[in-house]
Chain A
Amino acid sequence: MPDQESMGEYNNRSEPSESRTVGNEPASEAQTTAPLSRRQLLKAGALGAAALAAAGGALARPGRGAAQGRGDSASPDAHGGPAEHSSHETMMSVGDVEVKPGSFDPTAFLTHFDTGKVSRLPSGQTLREYQIVAMDREVEVAPGVFFPAWTFNGQVPGPTIRCTEGDRVRVKFINGGSHPHTIHFHGIHAANMDGSFEIIPAGGVFTYDFDAEPFGLHLYHCHSVPLKRHIHKGLYGVFIIDPKEGRPQAREMVMMMNGFDTNFDGENEIYAVNTVAHHYQKHPIPIGLGEQVRVYLVNITEFDLINSFHLHGNFFRLYRTGTRLDQYEFTDTVMLCQGERAVLEFAYKFPGKFLFHAHQSEFAELGWTGLFDVQGRSNV
């Protein structure tokens, strides 16, 4: 694929990544069988039906080394080469968001849980202490696209707060941003711990102190007005309360469905799970064959009524809000309103690359698409 280079002028991660070379096999079959059906293929891809798996590494190959946005030259593409072997790799943001030290890495965020500073109260209750600082910060939501965000701890979404039912949770909130903010935790707590009326001015400090209940998958977000702006600018995060008896062993990951209205016209230009458009499509999430996977899925998408999650080649057990351990639905698609969340559990029967994405094609094509890379032998 000689002219791929023309699309790859963005910097890639500095370390070599496996994802650069993966992902061509599933689509090559479709390509070789019918070059004429390219349109149908792409159309199918838009619906998330065909093997979008090809997308994985095709665009995430080494760039030209120069810094993005500096007028570095893309190789002129006089003959428009990309169309020659057009496939799902074309439906994607170009380039890759470089992960620098201290910047947000969706891959790291996926499996990172902040369980706080743990100690024991005289009563025997477990105390978990956290610190969250609101700060203004520009985040790269797609390669080369910078969004002037308001963040918790400099990242969007904020850190994933995790505790166990019955724990004492103490969150010290420092507002280092330029506007008044709060943290409103979903859960059962006292009125003055709700983060809706005690607005913390810029420079202010407040400590939220409550017992963790009920167990389930919750979220936290700023509740200052105008609410819409405070949320879509990035002040939100996932809040997990584990049941006392725990959940079955699984590989756990957090996915917050979000969007970014980069031109502030009241519509999202970019969609994603965990902020960066197409990140998990360019860097597929490796999971083992038959391995139990648990996804903590939260929807915070502003402006659009709903968002959704669709899993390819598999079905999942769906625990709405994660507040029950025994009741679930068996499905492959779930629709969530803003603020709604669900725990998904599944294991793959077959190896290979499988898509997951919003089943709103528009969201999927504007960034909310990812891949699971199921590794292992199918006969094991």
Chain B
Amino acid sequence: MSEDALPSARPGHTRRTVPIWLKGMGPLLLLVVLVFLFLRFGPVGVFRQAFPPVEELTVERITLPRPGQMQVRVVNGGPEPVTIAQVTVDDAAWAHALNGGRTVGRLESRTITIPYPWVEGEPHTITLLTSTGTTFSGEVAVATQTPTADARYLSTFALLGVYAGVIPVFLGLLWLPFLRGIGQRWLDFFLSLTIGLLVFLGVDALAEALELAARVPGAFQGLSLVVLGTVGTLLVLMALGQWKGKTGAGGERSPMYVSMLIALGIGLHNLGEGLAIGSSYATGEIALGTFLVVGFLIHNTTEGLGIVAPIAHERPSLGHLVLLGALAGVPTVLGAWIGGFSYSPLWTTLFFAIGVGAIAQVVYELWRLFARRAEGGLARPLNVAGLLCGMLVMYATGLFVAG
């Protein structure tokens, strides 16, 4: 922002007494001064209550690094510092060590190491007792040793990501020749079906994000994170779309660009999915059985179809196709790796929210694509059927993986 960019309110007034940046900063500086004065001299006591402050601790993650040891990560998302006085495991006071002081400041976190002989396959409850006697609990649903980031773990999740993300997406891409052979009407049907898939995935991701937002420590405002992630991504992608991706005179998106967007949106969704899978696996909440992996395989194959539908009449190079598949599938692997050993509800919420925004953007692009076609757009019965089919397919294949 520069001064000459602004219309001058008083032309002829040339005396530059106050620089424009200072005018902009003025209120902020005053605010800083006032906050300081308030904290220094203000009647803070008026707002204090006689009873102990409301304490809030969030158990972010419990891991079982090895037999006989548990680790708990807690975050203070409340308004006041909280002092962790004692720890009980399954209603027994237990020895423990903290990686810092017992008083956890606002937005600070601690990792508590507990030498507790946990029992494979059984649930455990860890309770933190604060100095005021308030309790905060976390549960281990099914105790199993948390995998460490070794070669075996990384390869397991790479394999899982390949099966659940990469292979199905590439399989879906193989529909390209089929899509080439059918007429425009049926291609529109499959494009609508793609929109259906995406809407389903978007809602699914939003639901995940909102569910996780509840587990984000209060001060980090989970719900606001979801809104920020979703709307922010949507806006950034739209701005990027204005800047790039235009071909021809009408400002129409290139089909390849649309496909890339779809792949990106699905990829971000799969990143969140990978995070959730990795974390659940690591904390023993799910056992990745054959059934579940097959479920992901089927569920995600339809994603590949969605990616190639817009480029049915293009001649994409093999490199492009590989890029599309990788964009959509590989994030599953990355997500699973990250989720497995560094899971936090905060980041996973944000990733899911970003996925929602990206998917919303793709749906918007496809909608525009249809609007430009003369033949009735999405409201055509066949296209409506496609939309519904897309959602139904996702629902039906989702039965394999929903828990």
CA distance A74 to B319 in the complex (A): 55
Q: Report yes or no: B102 in contact with A262, Cβ–Cβ below 8 A.
A: no
Q: Report yes or no: B71 in contact with A91, Cβ–Cβ below 8 A.
A: no
CA distance A81 to B96 in the complex (A): 10
**Total residues of chain B contacting the partner, CB 8 A:** 36
Chain B CB within 8 A of A373 CB? no
Q: Report yes or no: B71 in contact with A362, Cβ–Cβ below 8 A.
A: no
Chain B CB within 8 A of A194 CB? no
Which residues of A sit under 8 angstroms from B131, Cβ to Cβ? 69, 144-146
Query: In chain B, residues 129-143, which have Cβ atoms closer than 8 Å to a Cβ of chain A?
Result: 129-135
Q: Report yes or no: A59 in contact with B133, Cβ–Cβ below 8 A.
A: no
Given contacts A38-B117, A80-B113, A94-B86, contact A147 B133 (CB under 8 A): yes
Q: Report yes or no: A73 in contact with B101, Cβ–Cβ below 8 A.
A: yes
| Chain A residue nearest in CB terms to B91 | A362
Q: Report yes or no: A70 in contact with B97, Cβ–Cβ below 8 A.
A: no
Given contacts A72-B101, A90-B115, contact A145 B96 (CB under 8 A): no
Query: In chain A, residues 157-204, which have Cβ atoms closer than 8 Å to a Cβ of chain B?
Result: none
Q: Report yes or no: A362 in contact with B102, Cβ–Cβ below 8 A.
A: no
Q: Report yes or no: B85 in contact with A143, Cβ–Cβ below 8 A.
A: yes
Which residues of A sit under 8 angstroms from B83, Cβ to Cβ? 69, 144
Chain A CB within 8 A of B93 CB? yes
Minimum CB–CB distance from B316 to chain A (whole Å) comes to: 51
What string of 1s and 0s marks CB contacts (under 8 Å) between B38-75 and chain A? Answer: 00000000000000000000000000011011010000
Other-chain residue from B96, B99, B119, B133 in contact with A269 (beta carbon distance below 8 A) = B133
CA distance A359 to B115 in the complex (A): 24
Minimum CB–CB distance from B55 to chain A (whole Å) comes to: 10
CA distance A77 to B93 in the complex (A): 19
Chain B CB within 8 A of A367 CB? yes
Chain A CB within 8 A of B166 CB? no
Could you tell me the dominant secondary structure of chain A's interface residues?
loop
Query: In chain A, residues 50-98, which have Cβ atoms closer than 8 Å to a Cβ of chain B?
Result: 59, 68-78, 80-83, 86, 89-94
Chain A CB within 8 A of B280 CB? no
Q: Report yes or no: A263 in contact with B92, Cβ–Cβ below 8 A.
A: no
CA distance A284 to B95 in the complex (A): 19
Given contacts A6-B97, A146-B132, A260-B133, contact A83 B115 (CB under 8 A): yes
Other-chain residue from B71, B98, B129 in contact with A145 (beta carbon distance below 8 A) = B129
CA distance A147 to B135 in the complex (A): 13
Given contacts A262-B133, A269-B129, A269-B133, contact A144 B86 (CB under 8 A): yes
Chain B CB within 8 A of A142 CB? yes
Chain B CB within 8 A of A365 CB? yes
Q: Report yes or no: A90 in contact with B133, Cβ–Cβ below 8 A.
A: no
Given contacts A93-B86, A145-B129, A262-B134, contact A7 B102 (CB under 8 A): no
Which residues of A sit under 8 angstroms from B102, Cβ to Cβ? 9, 68-69, 71-72, 74, 144
Which residues of A sit under 8 angstroms from B344, Cβ to Cβ? none
Q: Report yes or no: B101 in contact with A86, Cβ–Cβ below 8 A.
A: no
Q: Report yes or no: A263 in contact with B134, Cβ–Cβ below 8 A.
A: yes
Query: In chain B, residues 83-135, which have Cβ atoms closer than 8 Å to a Cβ of chain A?
Result: 83, 85-88, 91-103, 105, 113, 115-117, 119, 129-135
Which residues of A sit under 8 angstroms from B87, Cβ to Cβ? 94
Q: Report yes or no: A278 in contact with B99, Cβ–Cβ below 8 A.
A: no
Which residues of A sit under 8 angstroms from B116, Cβ to Cβ? 90
Minimum CB–CB distance from A103 to chain B (whole Å) comes to: 16
Given contacts A80-B113, A86-B117, A90-B115, contact A262 B92 (CB under 8 A): no
CA distance A7 to B93 in the complex (A): 13
Which residues of A sit under 8 angstroms from B96, Cβ to Cβ? 7, 82, 94
Q: Report yes or no: A80 in contact with B91, Cβ–Cβ below 8 A.
A: no
Which residues of B sit under 8 angstroms from A277, Cβ to Cβ? 93
Given contacts A38-B117, A70-B101, contact A366 B92 (CB under 8 A): yes
Which residues of A sit under 8 angstroms from B133, Cβ to Cβ? 141, 145-147, 260, 262-263, 269
Chain B CB within 8 A of A306 CB? no
Minimum CB–CB distance from B175 to chain A (whole Å) comes to: 51
| A-B complex: 5 closest residue pairs judged by Cβ atoms | A262-B133, A144-B85, A365-B92, A71-B101, A83-B115
**Other contacts beyond A7-B95, A71-B103, A365-B93: 17, CB < 8 A:** A39-B119, A70-B103, A76-B100, A77-B97, A80-B69, A80-B115, A82-B95, A82-B97, A83-B66, A90-B94, A90-B115, A94-B87, A142-B93, A145-B133, A263-B135, A269-B129, A278-B93
Q: Name A's B-contacting residues (CB within 8 A).
A: 3, 6-7, 9, 38-39, 42-43, 46, 59, 68-78, 80-83, 86, 89-94, 141-147, 260, 262-263, 265, 269-270, 277-278, 362, 365-367
List 5 A-B residue pairs with CB atoms under 8 Å apart, sorted by A's residue number. Answer: A39-B119, A59-B95, A71-B105, A72-B102, A269-B129
